[in-house]
C-alpha cells in the first residue's frame, strides 16, 4: 500500500452541485480548479521524548489509482457501487477513510443515503493525511476551520431553510469547481452530502455544495436549498488550504 500526497486536480463539470441556490437561481457552468495536496502520513511520528502526544489524529483520505474502484459491503464482500476515476466532473475519485484493516480500508461513499460506507482494497487507492477539518453550525450559521485539532478561524455562512435544510452529519470535500455564474461566487466545493428533501435540483442530483455568492447580504441567514454559502473572499481563502477529502462536520 502506497502512502503519497493526495493528488489535487479537480476539473470542469457541466452543472454545479445541486441544492445550492435560492429560488429563481440557475445552475452555473464550471472551469478547472486545482486544490492543495494532503501530506503523506508520518511513519515515525513527531513527538519528542517526554512530550505529550497531541489529542488530535489527522483524517486519512484515499485517492483512487485505477480507472474505477468498486466498494464492497465488507472485505471480500458483495459490491455496493462502482465509481469512476476521475469522477463525472473530472475530479480525482476521493474517499474519506473510516478505518483500516489489513489489505482493506472502510471509506465514506459519496452516495445516498448520507453516511453510506464501503470497503475498498488498499491496492486500489493511495492514502494521505489531512490536518484540516471544517465544522459548520446551522444554529449559528458559522463555519470553523480546524487545523490539527485547534480552531484557527471562524467564518459567517448561510445555510438551508427550514424546508430545505442543510443535512447534518460528517461528510467530506469531493471536488472543487469554478462556476461561471457569479451567483455562486468564484469557487464551489462539492460535498459527499445530499439533500434530505430534494432528490434533484437545477439539473443536478441534489448534492450539497460549499460555495461563494454574489449576494453577500444573505450570509448569516437560513436561505439556501441546503448548500453552505460563504463570502467570496472566504471561500477563496479555503481553496488555498483545503485538499479534497477534508472532513466536513455539520451540526
The DSSP element (H or E) to which 126 belongs, if any, is strand 125-130
Per-residue HEC secondary structure of 21-81 comes to: CCCCCCCCCEECEECCCCECCCCCCCCCCCCCCCCCCCEEEEEECCCEEEEECCCCCCEEE
Q: What is the pLDDT of residue 32?
A: 40
Q: What residue ranges do the domains of the chain occupy?
A: 9-35+131-250, 59-130
Position 61 scores a pLDDT of: 98
Please say if the pLDDT value at position 30 is more than 90: no
CATH class belonging to 59-130 = mainly beta
Whether 20 is a known active-site residue: answer no
Quick: pLDDT tens for 180-231: 888 899 999 999 999 988 776 666 788 999 999 999 999 999 999 999 999 9
pTM (2 decimals)?
Answer: 0.84
What per-residue confidence (pLDDT) applies to 228? 98
Per-residue pLDDT, 39: 58
SS3 of residue 124 by DSSP: helix
* CB distance 104 to 110 below 8 Å: no
Distances (CA, A) of 179 to 12, 29, 41, 81, 233: 9, 5, 33, 28, 15
Do you find a cis peptide bond into 199, omega within 30 degrees of 0? Answer: no
- Of 22, 75, 79, nearest to 213 by C-alpha is 22
- Percentage of the residues of the chain whose pLDDT score is greater than 90: 70
In this prediction, residue 174 has a pLDDT band, given cuts at 50, 70 and 90, of very high
CB contact set of 241 (below 8 Å; sequence gap of 6+)? 36, 132, 145
Tens of pLDDT, residue by residue over 103-161, are: 999 999 999 999 999 999 999 999 999 999 999 999 999 999 999 999 999 999 999 99
Is the confidence at residue 28, as pLDDT, over 60?
Answer: no
The answer on pLDDT for 250 being more than 50 is yes
pLDDT-derived band at 12 (thresholds 50, 70, 90) equals: very low
Q: Please, which residues bridge with residue 97 across strands? A: 107
pLDDT classification of 15: cutoffs 50, 70, 90: very low
Domain 9-35+131-250 CATH class label? mainly beta
Residue 43 or 52, more confident:
52
pLDDT digits (tens, 9 = 90+) for 44-87: 333 344 445 457 899 999 999 999 999 999 999 999 999 999 99
Give the pLDDT confidence score for residue 218 in this predicted structure: 96
> Which residue out of 20, 85, 211, 225 is catalytically annotated?
211
Give the 3-state secondary structure of residue 149.
coil
Amino acid at each position: 500500500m502506497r502512502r503519497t500526497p493526495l493528488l489535487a486536480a479537480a476539473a470542469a463539470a457541466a452543472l454545479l452541485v445541486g441544492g445550492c441556490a435560492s429560488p429563481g437561481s440557475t445552475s452555473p457552468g464550471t472551469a478547472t480548479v486545482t486544490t492543495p495536496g494532503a501530506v503523506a502520513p508520518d511513519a515515525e511520528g513527531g513527538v519528542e521524548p517526554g512530550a505529550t502526544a497531541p489529542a488530535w489524529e489527522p483524517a486519512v483520505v484515499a485517492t483512487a489509482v485505477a480507472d474505477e474502484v468498486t466498494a464492497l459491503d465488507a472485505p471480500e464482500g458483495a459490491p455496493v457501487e462502482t465509481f469512476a476515476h476521475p469522477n463525472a466532473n473530472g475530479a480525482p475519485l476521493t474517499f474519506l477513510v473510516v478505518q483500516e484493516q489489513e489489505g482493506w480500508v472502510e471509506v465514506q461513499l459519496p452516495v445516498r443515503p448520507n453516511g453510506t460506507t464501503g470497503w475498498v482494497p488498499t491496492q486500489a487507492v493511495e492514502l494521505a493525511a489531512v490536518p484540516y477539518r471544517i465544522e459548520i453550525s446551522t444554529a449559528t450559521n458559522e463555519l470553523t476551520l480546524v487545523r490539527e485539532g485547534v480552531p484557527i478561524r471562524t467564518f459567517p455562512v448561510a445555510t438551508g431553510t427550514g424546508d430545505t435544510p442543510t443535512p447534518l452529519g460528517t461528510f467530506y470535500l469531493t471536488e472543487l469547481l469554478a462556476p461561471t455564474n457569479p451567483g455562486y461566487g468564484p469557487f464551489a466545493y462539492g460535498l459527499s452530502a445530499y439533500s434530505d428533501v430534494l432528490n434533484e435540483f437545477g439539473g443536478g442530483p441534489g448534492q450539497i455544495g460549499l460555495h461563494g455568492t454574489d449576494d453577500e447580504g444573505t450570509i448569516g441567514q437560513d436561505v439556501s436549498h441546503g448548500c453552505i454559502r460563504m463570502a467570496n473572499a472566504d471561500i477563496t481563502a479555503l481553496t488555498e488550504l483545503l485538499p479534497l477529502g477534508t472532513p466536513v462536520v455539520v451540526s
